[in-house]
């Protein structure tokens, strides 16, 4: 059993296709909410789907704002 098995807060995927498959599976099978952000870009890029709920859109926007804020705070 993996030490992170159970309640993961962040799931990372190797590419966009894998991320889409994982997000759709989780949202349709277990009614999970997801937030998507591209890592490594100079500006925040969020990934949402037309099928996403409003909560998922808001979570993606919040994530896009929190990550650079946390990085700037860490740099201080």
Domain residue spans of the chain = 16-75
Residue 5 · residue 24 · CB < 8 Å? no
Query: Does the pLDDT value for residue 9 go beyond 80?
Result: no
Report the SS3 class of residue 37.
strand
Q: What is the pLDDT of residues 18-74, one digit of tens each?
A: 988 888 888 888 888 878 788 777 888 887 878 788 888 898 888 888 877 777 777
What integer pLDDT is reported at residue 2 of this predicted model?
A: 62
pTM: 0.60
The C-alpha atoms of residue 67 and residue 39 are separated, in whole angstroms, by: 10
8 A C-beta contact, residue 36 and residue 18: no
């Amino acid at each position: 059993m993996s030490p992170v098995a159970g309640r993961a807060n962040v799931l990372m995927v190797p590419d966009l296709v894998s991320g889409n498959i994982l997000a759709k599976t989780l949202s349709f099978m277990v009614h999970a909410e997801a937030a998507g952000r591209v890592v490594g870009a100079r500006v925040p890029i969020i990934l949402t789907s037309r099928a996403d709920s409003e909560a998922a859109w808001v979570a993606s926007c919040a994530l896009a704002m929190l990550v650079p804020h946390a990085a700037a705070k860490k740099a201080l």
